[in-house]
């Protein structure tokens, strides 16, 4: 025998061994992963549940908006879960049941009345109710890397007509073949040969499932052989019912943004806002028809083409004796029946980014995409809606184009929970999230830290301490000189500390920061909650460095909370797919700054909006509504900032260009307007005033910083830490009531 004759058997044997090993590998892959893939579920993210009780602060319009978000249907007589009737401020709601992290709320009928922006009555089953929670709005999901989303359904819960139509259209011999159809493959091969390109696949449902689960979409001979082999193995190990159920849950039926719509159950919700078992024949046929080309026959984009494809499916159902010709005629005449409800998937991309950031510290990405976790967050859809409306209104006013960008973070400063977030001018766009990732100089937003560092030393500094606002030059290690200037290009001589902050004088602030020492300024910024790098350079006193709106929200959160540093939170609870609680995220706080010093800072931040650079807020707010805040502007107007808080909400807003070019805006002409518009419409509670123990008020002559009497020239009332008040007096005795200023008004009625 020749060498070639000896070599052929060896090559054949080697080929068989390789094929056998490949078959063993593929078989093992199927048997070990198929069941898990059947039940892969993305993590679902929920907003806060709306709590209703007598006295709850909510308008009829806001409640109607939230019910609309939840998909409640307006009917004449609510008789099923998810239905509502509204008559002015009167609501009759058949609330859906829902399993929260702490307990199960059963579906039940409730009635409530709203007057003057408050719930005045709440009843159910003929008795008064203390508290009830509506099911929470679904914010979105944390998805696998392929971007798929699913709602699992059991085969026995799938409408029979839909299952039969699916088999009639996609795989009539499903219950007779063993994973592949030889005649189907040959028919597809002939069609492809005649056309000179790939126009048909000839795949069974089993093959399609294998391709979706395990293979790439490329059309090659090797992939086709692998698909057939794996389909045969799948049929050897699993029943037809398991395979069909998996296909019904996995089949691709469209796209919404970056997420794929997989499975008939989710598609029913997406296109019709109905459970799968509530679909009509015309809707079932439409979904089956979409399998051939989810993009081509997408009813939202191509309604006429989708309608024609639906008619084809109905004709097949008649041919296969699944339905009568009369039923098909009626179904063809029906409208597509698409949902008019807003689709909420991916509605809050900025907030979802924040949730992901927190989750990644504790969970692997792949677990978030398959374990079916349920994540309960602090997102408030009503606050978010107002933030989006304010963003659109003010940004359109400032710039009719789209180049000017913005970002805002809103927290509840008593808990540290992030209630709303906008990451860009296109508020629902899942792109670059400026609230988290745009790092810019903060300008005067950092100045309160400098003044707080001073006020922590009451023996040296009080609100009445005179600071020098005059030119200053600091030599750097590289020989360069830093020479800051005031915004008005003027020096103001000796000014009281509270006025230097409220008027945002750069020269006085820079001198104060250098006098304190940059180490102390960096330390106070870290204690206020800024975790990243802080440059220890003289210009830090005027906002140098790179900070995101979220960083600034963390800093002002600590200030608003009276010196308690609270990690900003988006997540409240996490439960697994079996509703077993996995983790709670309770309120955490640590006092890092003196309460008395922060109280003095609050006075100055109130002064900013009453008589300083932020007084424009009262073009939007009622004059009796108390807030505190600070403007911020960077060189050449590149960044416009405003940070501030009321009695319930804290917000930080930024406006600027992505390319760092000038905007022509200051903090007061840009971000302040957005912040004020939002607060005027979203905040429910004015900032209260309560002086801590160990503090007293005194009348001070503003220009000299000396004690004086009420009604004396240039007199104003200031708070002091007991023992830190000035020792010298003007000698002016009280002359009776003087001019009532904004600070004195806080004491009326006490």
Q: For 672-710, how does the pLDDT look when each residue is reduced to its tens digit (9 = 90+)?
A: 999 999 999 999 999 999 999 999 999 999 999 999 999
The predicted pLDDT at position 105 comes to: 87
Secondary structure (3-state) at 57: strand
What residue has token string 């007293």? 696
Question: pLDDT for 528-537, tens place per residue?
Answer: 999 989 999 9
What SS3 class is residue 580?
A: coil
Q: What is the mean pLDDT of the chain?
A: 86
Over 50: is that where the pLDDT of 29 sits? Answer: yes
Pairing relationship of beta strands 98-99 and 104-105 according to DSSP bridges = antiparallel
Position 17 confidence tier, pLDDT thresholds 50, 70, 90: low
Residues 6 or more apart whose CB falls under 8 angstroms from that of 195 comprise none
DSSP, collapsed to helix, strand or coil, labels residue 6 as helix
pLDDT band at 645 (very low <50, low <70, confident <90, very high): very high
What is the rounded distance in angstroms from the CA atom of residue 431 to the CA atom of residue 178?
46
State pLDDT tens for residues 423-447: 999 888 777 999 999 999 999 999 9
Lookup: tokens for 560: 């608003």
For residues 288 and 311, what is the distance between their CA atoms, to the nearest angstrom?
11
61, pLDDT greater than 90: yes
Q: How far apart are CA 52 and CA 113, in angstroms?
A: 11
Does residue 303 contact residue 310 with C-beta atoms inside 8 Å? no
Q: How many CB atoms lie within 10 A of CB 45?
A: 26
Selection from 119, 366, 154 nearest residue 245 by Cα: 154
Segment 694-700 long-range contacts (CB within 8 Å, at least 24 positions apart): 694/596, 694/721, 694/722, 695/596, 695/599, 695/719, 695/720, 695/721, 695/722, 696/720, 696/722, 696/725, 698/725, 698/726, 699/734, 700/464, 700/496, 700/726
H or E element at residue 466: strand 466-469
Q: For residue range 470-523, list pLDDT tens digits in order.
A: 999 988 767 788 899 999 999 999 999 999 999 999 999 999 999 999 999 999
The pLDDT score that the predictor gives to residue 428 is: 80
pLDDT at 370 over 80: no
Q: What's the pLDDT at 195?
A: 47
Q: What is the pLDDT of residue 579?
A: 82
Q: Binning pLDDT at 50, 70 and 90, where does residue 196 land?
A: very low
200 band by pLDDT with thresholds 50, 70 and 90? very low
First-to-last C-alpha distance (Å) of the chain: 114
Mean pLDDT of the 165-175 span: 87
How high is the pLDDT of residue 297?
93
- Check pLDDT > 80 for residue 152: no
254: phi > 0 → left, psi -120 to 50 → alpha, else beta; which?
left
Residue of 28 and 86 predicted with greater confidence: 86
Domains and CATH numbers, the chain: 49-135 (3.30.2060.10), 151-333 (1.10.3810.10), 417-682 (3.40.710.10), 695-745 (no CATH)
Residues of the chain with pLDDT > 90: what percent? 58
Q: Mean pLDDT over residues 664-679, rounded?
A: 96
Helical H runs in 334-380?
349-359, 365-368
Higher pLDDT, 350 or 90: 90
| 3-state secondary structure at position 399 | coil
Please name every residue paired with 45 in a beta bridge, in sequence order, or none if there are none: 140, 375
Listed range (162-176, 548-562, 575-589, 621-635) with the worst mean pLDDT? 575-589
Report the SS3 class of residue 203: coil
Please tell me the predicted confidence (pLDDT) of residue 344.
43
pLDDT at 346: 44
Most confidently modeled range among 17-31, 132-146, 555-569: 555-569
Given the DSSP bridges, would you call strands 148-150 and 90-95 parallel, antiparallel or unpaired? unpaired
- For the chain, how many residues are written? 750
pTM of the model: 0.80
Q: Which residues are catalytic?
A: 170, 444
Confidence at residue 199, expressed as pLDDT on a 0 to 100 scale: 38
CA dihedral 23, 28, 29, 35 (to 10 degrees): 130
**% residues pLDDT > 70 (the chain):** 84
What are the pLDDT digits (tens) for 309-350?
A: 999 999 999 999 999 999 999 999 999 888 765 444 447 888
pLDDT digit string (tens) for 574-631? 988 778 888 888 888 899 999 999 999 999 999 999 999 999 999 999 999 999 999 9
């Amino acid at each position: 025998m020749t060498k070639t004759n000896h070599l052929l058997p060896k090559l054949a044997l080697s080929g068989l061994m390789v094929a056998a090993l490949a078959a063993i590998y593929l078989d093992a892959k199927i048997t070990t992963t198929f069941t898990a893939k059947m039940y892969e579920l993305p993590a679902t993210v929920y907003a806060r549940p709306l709590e209703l009780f007598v006295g709850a602060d909510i308008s009829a319009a806001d409640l109607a908006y939230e019910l609309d978000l939840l998909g409640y249907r307006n009917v004449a007589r609510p008789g099923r879960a998810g239905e509502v009737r509204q008559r002015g401020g009167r609501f009759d709601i058949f609330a859906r049941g829902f399993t929260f992290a702490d307990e199960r709320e059963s579906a039940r009928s409730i009635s409530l009345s709203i007057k003057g922006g408050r719930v005045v009555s709440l009843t159910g089953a003929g008795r008064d109710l203390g508290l009830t929670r509506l099911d929470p709005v679904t914010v979105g999901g944390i998805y696998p890397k392929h971007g798929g989303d699913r709602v699992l359904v059991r085969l026995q819960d799938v409408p029979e007509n839909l299952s039969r139509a699916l088999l009639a259209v996609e795989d009539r011999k499903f219950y007779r073949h063993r994973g592949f159809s030889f005649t189907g493959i040959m028919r597809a091969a002939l069609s492809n040969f005649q056309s000179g390109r790939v126009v048909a696949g000839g795949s069974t449902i089993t093959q399609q499932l294998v391709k979706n689960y395990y293979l790439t979409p490329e059309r090659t001979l090797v992939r086709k052989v692998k698909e057939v082999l794996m389909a045969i193995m799948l049929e050897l190990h699993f029943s037809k019912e398991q395979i069909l159920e998996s296909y019904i849950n996995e089949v691709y039926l469209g796209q919404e943004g970056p997420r794929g719509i997989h499975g008939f159950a989710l598609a029913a919700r997406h296109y019709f806002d109905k459970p799968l078992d509530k679909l009509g024949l015309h809707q079932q046929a439409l979904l089956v028809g979409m399998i051939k080309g989810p993009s081509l026959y997408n009813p939202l984009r191509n309604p006429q083409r989708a309608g024609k494809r639906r008619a084809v499916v109905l004709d097949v159902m008649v041919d296969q004796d699944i339905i009568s010709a009369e039923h098909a005629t009626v179904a063809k005449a029906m409208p597509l029946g698409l949902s008019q409800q807003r689709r909420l998937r991916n509605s809050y991309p900025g907030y979802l980014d924040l949730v992901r950031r927190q989750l990644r510290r504790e969970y692997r990405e792949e677990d978030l995409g398959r374990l079916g976790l349920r994540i309960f967050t602090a997102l408030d859809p009503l606050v978010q809606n107002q933030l989006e409306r304010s963003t659109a209104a003010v940004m359109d006013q400032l710039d009719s184009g789209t180049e000017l960008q913005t970002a805002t973070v809103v927290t509840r400063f008593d808990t540290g929970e992030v209630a709303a977030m906008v990451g860009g001018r296109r508020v629902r766009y899942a792109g670059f999230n400026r609230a988290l990732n745009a790092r810019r100089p903060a300008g005067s937003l950092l100045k309160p830290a400098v003044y707080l560092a001073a006020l922590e030393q009451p023996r040296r500094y009080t609100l009445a301490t005179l600071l020098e606002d005059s030119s200053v030059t600091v030599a750097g290690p590289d020989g360069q000189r830093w020479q800051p200037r005031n915004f008005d290009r003027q020096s103001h001589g000796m000014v009281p500390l509270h006025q230097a902050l409220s008027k945002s004088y750069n020269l006085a602030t820079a001198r104060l920061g250098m006098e304190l020492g940059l180490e102390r300024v960096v330390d106070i910024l870290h204690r206020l909650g800024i975790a990243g790098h802080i440059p220890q350079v003289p210009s830090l006193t005027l906002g140098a460095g790179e900070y995101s709106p979220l960083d600034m929200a963390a800093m002002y959160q600590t200030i608003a909370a009276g010196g308690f540093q609270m990690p900003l939170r988006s997540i409240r609870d996490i439960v697994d797919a079996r509703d077993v609680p996995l983790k709670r995220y309770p309120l955490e706080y640590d006092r890092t700054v003196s309460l008395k010093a922060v109280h003095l800072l609050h006075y100055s931040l109130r002064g900013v909006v009453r008589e300083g650079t932020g007084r424009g807020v009262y073009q939007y707010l009622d004059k009796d509504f108390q807030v505190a805040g600070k403007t911020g502007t960077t060189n050449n107007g590149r960044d416009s900032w405003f940070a501030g808080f009321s009695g319930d909400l804290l917000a930080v807003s930024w406006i600027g260009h992505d390319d760092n070019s000038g905007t022509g805006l200051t903090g007061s002409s840009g971000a302040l307007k957005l912040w004020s518009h939002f607060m005027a419409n979203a905040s429910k509670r004015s900032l209260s005033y309560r002086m801590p123990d160990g503090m007293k008020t005194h009348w001070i002559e503003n220009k000299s910083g000396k004690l004086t009497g009420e009604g004396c020239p240039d007199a104003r009332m200031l708070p002091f830490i007991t023992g830190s008040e000035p020792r010298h007096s003007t000698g002016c005795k009280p002359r009776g009531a003087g001019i009532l200023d904004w600070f004195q008004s806080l004491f009326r009625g006490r």
